[in-house]
Structure 1
Amino acid sequence: MREGGVGNAQLARTVNRIGGELGVPLHYDKTAVSHWLKGSLPKAEARPAVVEGLSRLLGRPVTSSEAGLGDVAEPAPPDVVSGVVDLGRADMAPSRRAVLGAGLYSATLAIPQFEDLAGRTEAVSAGRTVHIGMSDVSTVRTMTAKIADILDELGGGHARPMAAAFLVNTVGPYLRADGGEAVKKAMKAAASDLVYLTGWMAMYEREHGTGQKYYLQALTLAGSAEDHVTYCRTLRGMALQASNLGYGNKALELADSAAEAAPAAGPRLVAFLRGQQAHGAAMVKDRRQAFARLRETEEALSRAEGRNDAIGGYDRAAYEFHVAHVMWELGDRAGSVTALRRSNRYRPHGERQGRVHATGLLATRLLAMRHVEESCEVWGRFLDDYAAISSARGDEHFATLRRGLRPYRRLPAVRALSTRVRSVERLKAA
């Protein structure tokens, strides 16, 4: 704490916030930190949050032993296939998902470089009796696309356990199977897409530690497959995760790394990457860079042709969503709301999960601007989609809806909306 100039109250707030990221309530204050400094220990389930809090505040990894919380033996890192299967097995049944220590997001994590990952999975994929071919690669690609469709229509709460089960029961054995070098490389590339998608769903469901672990496994598989595209898309997903958690510098660093990892990217992928760079730049209040990146995003998108693939695709709705983030971060609230409305107009009808988040965000921002009746109208559209999906992000917006409208409960528009809210609550509880 002396090294980083960290005060007692600052550490307490950081630890509480990390607990909140995982839905684990922690309510420490500066007095509790004073007790720790005198030799008492925080409760066991909070100690990983204390270590991660110190790491974030110092901007470097801090070990449990270094923090004076005991020497916790770390298990040896598994090979990538075992890592993917272990994550998937914990994810197959939501009731068995990992708790605080295993699901902790690290803001100081070192990211492996693409050049360092080639060949990492060779030792575990050789010498097996099962033989795979390109038809098996096609099976993984097709299932990944189908899971992405289910995600869009019904939400991550339904799609992610399916992805996890497929990773454990099918993809894991495929990755350990024998086959020609071209087939094995193609299988690792296909698997990295699915692992990336599963990590994205975990992130979207606010299980950030689990999402980060999936992302790291996707990076390793993509690097081993020499798949620059999935490697850089995964880094971009990690940048989005950092931005969701409020780490602007980390978000920009990861977004820039993603762009640098894709030197031969097509225009749609360039737009996908530049848009995230624009958001990161806005978070650190670099107005010039943020708007320059938005111009590059729009120009690249105008040159994009062909099918907008479900994983890592980028369209006009996504571009306007990035515009909205940039405007909000730079203080233009009205401009952000206008861009969100444009984003929703461009959003495909079947993309229900994305629309739930976008309408929830629009309604929240309208409410923050005290445009209560407009907010109620948008909340109504949010409820239309929210009632039909399973999404932690949607649940978060729903909680914001109930909490945010309480001060205005006497207004007719709010009273009418409250009736619908109660109806949706009963539906969700049934």
Structure 2
Amino acid sequence: MNPSRRTIVNAALFSTALALPDRDNIVGRMESVRTGSASRFGSAEVDMVIAMTERLSELDDQFGGRHARPMAAAFLVNTVAPYLRADAPEEVRKSMMSAAAFHCYLTGWMAVDEGLHGLAQRYYVKGLELAGASADRMTYCHILRGMSGQAVDLGHGVPATRLANAAAAVSPSAEPRMKAFMAGQQAHSFAMAGERANALRSLQEAEKAISKAESQAGTFGGYSPATLAYHDAQVRYGLGDVPGSVASLKLHFRLRDSTDSQVSALRFGSMLAERQLEMGHLEAACKTWDHVLDQYPSMNSDRVDRHVRSIAPLLHPYRANATAQETWERARQAA
């Protein structure tokens, strides 16, 4: 990273820290590490890393990986890595490794959203190393599931299935939402791999688990009925049921709430429009795409970019239709 770019990223990172509760204390701890004046750390520093990771995750959800990943990477290099080399009681050190592992996972997830898949793999592998060293099975299986999601995005069904199964196998809890979180990814992966029976079985497991989870407090990984509806849509589409997939994506949007990612809203909205067009519902597809294009200017995501770039080619054969012509022109300008 060139010096001017590093200065910009660090300024943005400290601006992010200012948005957190107890901001003066957090900024002070970050600065002491950056300048090399901190040789020991305690639980307060672990809490600071967790808080910053959560804030960076919110920025990623709102604006995309290209916006947030450079800040997450800078925080990892300038703050988290020095803590891993400093002195601390053993239990505190393990907690810091666990926090660092999850930060590596999040940074890898952002790199996927940038389209930097090799970089994402390196973050994921480092996260697995840290989670293993800290005996944090929850983060370990979370990262494996993320790697499965990356493989699905790239169209690699067999590796996605292997990774999803590995995540489920090392899952440390039988808590219903955790089971749904794992089974939903297995279902999507099986459908991508063409394993119909296994996909439907895993989807049914996810449905049973989420129905139990909704009657209990707590969440895991943000998995909700809206996420389940998305996985149902992906399974249906993978198995050739385009109308069923469209219906499930519409259900997903009815079930979303304010905590859901804006990146996923634009990605899944684009998928819905593409599948509506595949069914021959031209004006419905244009309406859905128009909504995506309304929100697109604030987004900085390669995955969303690729969807938006596909709109004009998909609509080109239908330009005689006035609605399609208007959306086609908007898409060309946006892309």
Matched, 1:308 2:219: yes
Give the counterpart of 2:268 among 346, 358, 372.
Answer: 358
**Counterpart contact for 1:229–1:265, Cα < 8 Å:** no
**Counterpart contact for 2:53–2:103, Cα < 8 Å:** yes
Give the counterpart of 1:149 among 52, 58, 72.
Answer: 58
**Counterpart contact for 1:129–1:178, Cα < 8 Å:** no
In structure 1, distance between residues paired with 2:73 and 2:189: 30
1:345-384 alignment to 2 at 5 Å? Answer: 345-349=254-258, 351-384=261-294
Identical counterparts, % of pairs: 43
Larger Rg: 1
Give the counterpart of 1:418 among 319, 328, 335.
Answer: 328
In structure 2, distance between residues paired with 1:158 and 1:308: 27
CA distance 1:186–1:301, change in 2 (3 Å): same
**Counterpart contact for 1:268–1:313, Cα < 8 Å:** no
**Counterpart contact for 1:134–1:183, Cα < 8 Å:** yes
Q: Which residue is equivalent to 1:291? A: 200
1:1-16 alignment to 2 at 5 Å? Answer: none
In structure 2, distance between residues paired with 1:385 and 1:306: 33
Specify which structure has the higher proportion of helix. 2
**Counterpart contact for 1:215–1:234, Cα < 8 Å:** yes
Q: Which residue is equivalent to 1:340? A: 249
Q: Which residue is equivalent to 1:120? A: none
Comparing 350-359 and 281-290, the one that deviates more: 281-290
Per-residue deviation at 1:159?
1.0
**Counterpart contact for 2:141–2:171, Cα < 8 Å:** yes
**Counterpart contact for 1:157–1:390, Cα < 8 Å:** yes
* Structure 1: tracts of 5 or more residues without a match: 1-88, 95-127, 426-430
Structure 1-normalised TM-score?
0.67
AA partner of residue 72 (structure 2) = A
Matched, 1:405 2:312: no
AA partner of residue 308 (structure 1) = T
Structure 2-normalised TM-score?
0.85
AA partner of residue 184 (structure 1) = R
* Structure 2: tracts of 5 or more residues without a match: 7-36
In structure 2, distance between residues paired with 1:154 and 1:265: 34
1:149-184 per-position Cα deviation (integer Å, ceiling 9, x unaligned): 111111111111110111011101111111000100
Comparing 344-353 and 390-399, the one that deviates more: 344-353
**Counterpart contact for 2:179–2:206, Cα < 8 Å:** yes
In structure 2, distance between residues paired with 1:253 and 1:229: 18
AA partner of residue 306 (structure 1) = A
Give the counterpart of 1:195 among 72, 83, 104.
Answer: 104
- Number of residue-to-residue matches in the alignment: 301
AA partner of residue 360 (structure 1) = S
Per-residue deviation at 1:419?
4.3
1:115-264 alignment to 2 at 5 Å? Answer: 130-264=39-173
